[in-house]
Structure 1
Amino acid sequence: RKCTAYGREVAGYISRNLSEIGITIVSGLAVGIDSYAHRAALEGKGGSIGVLGCGIDIIYPPENKYLYEEIPLNGSIITEFLPKTPPLKSNFPVRNRIISGLCRGVVVIEAGEKSGAIITCEMAL
């Protein structure tokens, strides 16, 4: 959620370039690196998949409403949670399992010691 200017730049650069060569970006639609990766994928005209940690009818976080609306135009918003499921803290490690399962590779730009990005990497191994 808290990323540096350098992290934003790197996330954008990598995601945009990957999307331009046809690689779909999969991330959690969270504030921070996730949202920069999704935005850059859309700018690169590639696909993006946002994996929610809540019901499909809940826009979370609300500041990513734009991405929630734009990603389905060239990708998908998905969740394994039932509609109306709130974004509980315990849902996000479960969501990260889905992210790692959909990907051929995982790129971590910046991550705290106990962050979701680290959980995603551990699940991908």
Structure 2
Amino acid sequence: MVKARYQTKAGAMEMGEDHIIRFRILPGATVDSETAKECVAGVAELAGPKRHILLIDMRNLRDITQGARRIYHDGPAFAVALLVASPVSKVIGSFFIGLNRPSYPLRIFTSETKAIEWLKDYIE
């Protein structure tokens, strides 16, 4: 069940009763610096002073700019699970994350169920 919702240009965020923020990216969306800032603001609004636990559904993402990646790199998240479309996407994503290791736990999944199981370990 959804507790709160926030809409951005790139998609919709929802805070579930499990305290996980789910961000579902719209088909063909590009995330640039402006959109990344909007997303960070949305997460802060939904989570308030609590640590941010995020599931980002990237299966429809067209592109993410270097500026957006910089904003997310040191973002306010406590733990992030990225949901991708295929095992190949997972391998490519893991390679790029290895080059730009964020300051918070982050894993890539092709299964939403497994991503949520992993995130639940970080819920306070």
Task: Name the TM-score, length of structure 2 as normaliser.
Answer: 0.40
Judging by fraction of residues, say which structure has more strand: 2
